[in-house]
Amino acid sequence: MKIELACLSGLIAALSPLAALSQGDARVPAQAQMMSTSSRFLPPKARVGRFLFNDTRLSEPAGQSCASCHDANVAFTDPDKRIPTSQGVNPRLFGKRNAPTAMYAAYSPVFHYDAEEGVYEGGQFLDGRAANLQDQAEGPFLNPLEMANEGKEQVVDKVRAAPYAELFKDVYGWDVFADPEAAYQDIADAIAAFENTRTFNRFTSKYDAWQAGKAELTAQEQHGLELFEAEDKGNCAACHPSRTDDEGTPPLFTDFTYDNLGVPRNPRNPFYRMPKQYNFDGRSFVDEGLGDFVHSADEDGKLKVPTLRNIALTAPYMHNGYFSTLRGVVDFYNTRDTKRTCVPKFVTDSAAMRRNCWPVPEVAENVNRDELGNLGLTDQEVEDIVAFLHTLDDGWMSQSSN
Span 96-108, mean pLDDT?
A: 97
Pinpoint the alpha helices (H) of 55-164. Answer: 66-69, 133-142, 152-160
Q: At what angle do helices 326-335 and 379-389 cross, to 10 degrees?
A: 130
The least confident of 3-12, 225-234, 237-246 is 3-12
CA 166 to chain centre: 32
**Which tens digits make up the pLDDT trace of 176-199?**
999 999 999 999 999 999 999 999
Domains of the chain and any CATH numbers: 31-116+132-195 (1.10.760.10), 206-281+305-400 (1.10.760.10)
Please tell me the predicted confidence (pLDDT) of residue 34: 34
Span 353-370, mean pLDDT?
A: 97
Please tell me the predicted confidence (pLDDT) of residue 238: 97
Q: What's the mean per-residue pLDDT of the chain?
A: 91
Span 272-291, mean pLDDT?
A: 98
At 397, is the pLDDT very low, low, confident or very high (cuts 50, 70, 90)?
confident
Please tell me the predicted confidence (pLDDT) of residue 110: 98
Please tell me the predicted confidence (pLDDT) of residue 361: 98
Residue 353 pairs with which residues in a beta bridge? Answer: none
CA 27 – CA 372 distance, rounded (Å):
34
Radius of gyration of the chain (CA): 21
Please tell me the predicted confidence (pLDDT) of residue 107: 96
> What whole-number percentage of the chain has pLDDT above 70?
89
End-to-end Cα distance, the chain: 32
- Asked whether residue 231 carries a pLDDT value surpassing 80, the answer given is yes
User: Backbone dihedral region of 354: left (phi > 0), alpha (psi from -120 to 50 degrees) or beta?
Assistant: alpha
Cβ contacts of residue 174 below 8 Å, gap of 6+? none
Residue of 69 and 3 predicted with greater confidence: 69
CA 204 – CA 118 distance, rounded (Å):
34
| DSSP three-state, residue 210 | helix
